Amino acid sequence: MRVVVIAIGRLKQGPERELAERYRERFDDLGRKLGFRGPEIHEIAESRAGDAPSRIAQEAAAIAALIPDRAVLVTLDERGDSLDSAAFAKKLGGWRDQSTAQAIFVIGGADGLSPELRRKAKLSVSFGAATWPHQMVRVMLLEQLYRAATILSGHPYHRV
């Protein structure tokens, strides 16, 4: 199963990019042995529209253009479900076991995601009630993907 992360905004050079790349590489190495490919990262520039609804609409159009038919769509959203790591791993492993071709994880911009994208999502995940910068959400998502792979493989990285 191919894993894709679509994110509004770019990670500049620095510690966030280095940490994100470390977890991306770790998932890629371990994930291949488990039937995963990726994660592939698509960065979309933040909209420069003058108002929030227009920005959300422009960003949603750019995101939708990257989502193929029959892909599992997962949004990262403060209104989403708060899953523990084992439940997240179970979802990821379940999609793989059902021969899902792609799991697409979407991180919105500062104004959030469009209601239409949120409705299309098979799962919406929250990393808590706090508001996080999109750079940190990307790092946390990539760490959780790696952690899910370690759980699925029985690797001792995840401790209960």
Binding-site residues for S-adenosyl-L-methionine, in ranges, read: 76, 108
Strands 123-125 and 37-44 come out as unpaired
Q: Which residues are annotated as a binding site?
A: 76, 108
